[in-house]
Amino acid sequence: MPPQRGMELSSSYQEGGPAQGRNHLLIIGIDDYLHWPRLHNAVRDARTFAEALCRHYQFEEADVLKLFNEEATEGGIYQAIRELKRRVGPNDSLIVYFSGHGHYDREFDEGYWVPYNGGRDAEETYISNANILKRINALDGHHILLIVDSCFSGSLLTTTRSAQVDEHFPSRRVLCSGRLEAVSDGAPGTHSPFAHLLIARLRENTAPALDTTTLIQHIKAHIGKQSKQAPVDGRLQHSADRGGEFMFHLKVGEADYWARISQQGGIEGYEQYLNTYPQGKYAAEAARQLLLLREDAVWARARQNHNELAYRNYLRQYAGTGKYLQAAEEQLQGLEAQQEERRKVLEKLAQQDAEREGIQQKFQQLVDEAEGLFQQEQLEPARGRYRESLQYYMDGFTPSYSYIEEQINLCANGLAFLQHIQKGREAMGRGNHRLALQYFQEAARHGDDPKLEDLIRVCRQKLGQQQARPEPENQQQARASSSRGADGANAAKTGRLILKMMGWGIGAIIVLALIGIYWPGEDPAYPPAAYTPPGQEAQGLGGSPTEALPSSYTALVVGSWSLEDILINGQPYSYVTGDFLNWEQYGYTFYANGAALSRTPQGNEQQTYRIQGDYIYVHSPIWGGSPGLIRQLDRHHMKLLFYIPDGMGGTMAYEVSFTR
């Protein structure tokens, strides 16, 4: 059994930012202790970690302080931190890496680093976490990251909180190899399990910038396969931390990065290049290579699934241009011929009602078994039962032949495909196109859907538009500072609103529509009309004259309206939900040609509307064409009354008031 980085002492004790500066590194590794058991890999881990950073990332040897074995005394460690106080500037970043023995005093809830000369049962010779954190908080760096690979290191953590992956804001973060338990040192001549995962991920990375959160999640996800320890991370309390993130930037430019990506030649690499340089010098070639590689992947999945639906999907996606069109047609024809032959045989056997009923019972038995296995997420056995049921399928049986084929594909691709599509749409609804792009690209690895390419293209266009609009540095900083607080408040408020409105059933969709929370593209029954600027109301979407809307209310409704209030069953919205919103940020602009523009803090959405009698219909994926009774409409005020099913057999009244 490999030694552990810590031990029981006595019966009393039981187990790239906005202003780029320099990157500093302090590494501490101790194998040969004066009074504690010898470790095998602490120095090797620390030295290899420093080499990986200096070789692959934007760290220089001149900015690295190294303390190994007898150099890492209590005084030596304190003196090194004092030297960092002189070196590290406000725009610089610092990583402190400690690899050695640790100790935890449960009686006083205090953790310690054990220096080279630390005595046995002599806490006064150790370095307490309190002293470490006090000195770290005294440094001026923009980002400071502590990585501690020792026993009981989790006691360093004082508080945790979520954060955006954004290096613009300062951070004070800690990653520990374990919580309050002993951790493995690894076999002699190797690395500890924690250091092995950390260093391997840094070496294998091809993205221009690797964020700390991704690195931590990788270690947590894989360390359980190698050791019974649970890495933890957190942020320092009462520090300069503002929820930012240290980024590991590779030592490459766009040309070098492209050379590395094109040499490796994988889907993930080309996607990383386009995510980083959506309008880069090699973007067109990267997109071309992606199309070729994705076609190969779609064809490989079709061959794996080997059913009619898979081949039809390939033919639909690559009609007229695919490399495997002839092969797909031949496979599809062969499967159709086999199916037709089976149907003829079954029809002949089922000429008598009793025979057909027996076939149907066998078919239903297999489908029921498959459905039960699918619900238990036993996908491979379920796939076999579904396939076997097709041997007994006849026209008129339920479920349909296409449903069973779809279930076979779901079994093959897993549930991850649908989950990533859902998460991507939610991210798009929040305006986070970079996160949505990651989800859609991950979904493409699990299944085939022609809509995916459209969603990925929209995300890239949005990201390209953001890069194409540079702002002065002072405006960028001011906007980043102000939007950070506003986005956090809006996100928290939106979360509370959804939770509170869930209990109100379907009626919540009106409020969600008004505050701009929706998933675009899910209801093709009402595609939004093209936007018509003011002054062109007499022109239709195609440039031809458009008839005026057939209603006496038309002349009054045209124009811009701001939301004034919402009454839910006669009660003010703020009373029902407990939230107070700035209603002036929400509203509609109605045009005489039937076009409408929804305005929210998250952006504008093009829609259409029509007036029929005393009702107005706003056609959007959320409103779904639900009619609103016009209770009041004059030059300055408008009140609309909606009756919405509450999901429990009744209805709820929503009175929405607007003002000019």
* Residues 51-80: tens digit of each pLDDT: 999 988 999 999 999 999 999 999 999 999
Q: What is the mean pLDDT of residues 493-518?
A: 37
Residue 298 lies in a domain: yes
Tokens encoding 560: 């811009």
325/445 same-domain check:
no
Q: How far apart are CA 528 and CA 521, in angstroms?
A: 10
Residue 11 lies in a domain: no
Q: How far apart are CA 212 and CA 202, in angstroms?
A: 11
Q: How far apart are CA 435 and CA 427, in angstroms?
A: 6
Q: How far apart are CA 555 and CA 534, in angstroms?
A: 14
Please give the C-alpha separations between residue 451 and each of 328, 408, 421, 454, in angstroms, as whole numbers: 21, 20, 10, 5
**pLDDT tens across 73-116, in order?**
999 999 999 999 999 999 999 999 999 998 888 888 888 899 99
51/188 same-domain check:
yes
Tokens encoding 542: 């195609």
- The domain containing residue 364 runs over which residues? 306-413
499/452 same-domain check:
no
518/647 same-domain check:
yes
244/263 same-domain check:
no
137/228 same-domain check:
yes
The residue to which tokens 């089976």 are assigned: 342
CATH number, domain at 124? 3.40.50.1460
Q: How far apart are CA 275 and CA 277, in angstroms?
A: 6
Residue 290 reports pLDDT greater than 50 = yes
Residue 68 lies in a domain: yes
Residue 474 lies in a domain: no
529/553 same-domain check:
yes
**pLDDT tens across 434-443, in order?**
888 888 888 8
| Chain centroid offset of residue 336 CA | 40
Residue 220 is predicted with a pLDDT of 87
324/295 same-domain check:
no
**pLDDT tens across 333-367, in order?**
998 888 888 888 777 776 666 777 888 899 999 99
Amino acid, single-letter form, for residue 135: R
345, burial (CB in 10 Å: exposed 0-12, middle 13-18, buried 19+): exposed
**Mean pLDDT estimate for the chain:** 77
Tokens encoding 643: 């009756």
Residue 554 is predicted with a pLDDT of 79
Which has the closest alpha carbon to 377: 411, 417, 421? 411
Length of the chain, please? 660
Which has the closest alpha carbon to 280: 19, 17, 468, 469? 468
- Bridge-based pairing of strands 587-590 and 171-176 is unpaired
DSSP 539: B
47: confidence class by pLDDT, cuts 50, 70, 90 = very high
223/356 same-domain check:
no
Residue 549 is predicted with a pLDDT of 38
Residue 486 lies in a domain: no
Which has the closest alpha carbon to 32: 100, 88, 95? 100
73/220 same-domain check:
yes
Q: What is the mean pLDDT of residues 494-519?
A: 37
Residue 180 or 427, more confident = 427
DSSP 410: H
222/333 same-domain check:
no
**pLDDT tens across 213-223, in order?**
999 889 888 88
380, burial (CB in 10 Å: exposed 0-12, middle 13-18, buried 19+): exposed
Residue 25 reports pLDDT greater than 90 = yes
Three-class SS of residue 450? helix
Residue 141 reports pLDDT greater than 80 = yes
Residue 479 lies in a domain: no
Residue 420 lies in a domain: yes
Q: How far apart are CA 562 and CA 583, in angstroms?
A: 7
Residue 524 is predicted with a pLDDT of 32
**pLDDT tens across 520-571, in order?**
333 333 333 333 333 333 333 233 333 333 446 778 889 999 988 888 877 7
Q: What sign does the CA torsion over 483, 488, 491, 493 have?
A: negative
Q: How far apart are CA 577 and CA 642, in angstroms?
A: 18
Q: What is the mean pLDDT of residues 377-385?
A: 86
Task: Compute the radius of gyration of the chain from its Cα atoms.
Answer: 32
Three-class SS of residue 5? coil
Tokens encoding 553: 């209310």
Q: How far apart are CA 577 and CA 590, in angstroms?
A: 29
202: confidence class by pLDDT, cuts 50, 70, 90 = very high
Tokens encoding 381: 């056995």
580: confidence class by pLDDT, cuts 50, 70, 90 = low
- Residue by residue, DSSP assigns 324-350 as THHHHHHHHHHHHHHHHHHHHHHHHHT
Q: What is the mean pLDDT of residues 277-287?
A: 86
CATH number, domain at 551? 2.40.128.280
Residue 392 reports pLDDT greater than 50 = yes
66/183 same-domain check:
yes
**pLDDT tens across 228-247, in order?**
777 888 888 778 888 888 99
**Residue 182: CA count within 13 A, CB half-sphere:** 15
Q: Which of 378, 397, 413 is the last residue of a domain?
A: 413
Q: Which of 385, 413, 441 is the last residue of a domain?
A: 413
Q: Which of 42-51, 125-134, 370-379, 514-523 has the highest mean pLDDT?
A: 42-51
Residue 329 lies in a domain: yes
**pLDDT tens across 445-478, in order?**
776 666 778 888 888 888 877 666 555 454 444 4
Percent of the chain with pLDDT over 90: 21
Domains contained in the chain, number: 5
Q: Which of 164-168, 376-380, 423-427 has the highest mean pLDDT?
A: 423-427
Residue 534 is predicted with a pLDDT of 36
**pLDDT tens across 604-651, in order?**
888 888 888 888 888 765 444 568 888 899 888 999 887 776 555 566
Please give the C-alpha separations between residue 267 and each of 300, 321, 616, in angstroms, as whole numbers: 14, 20, 48
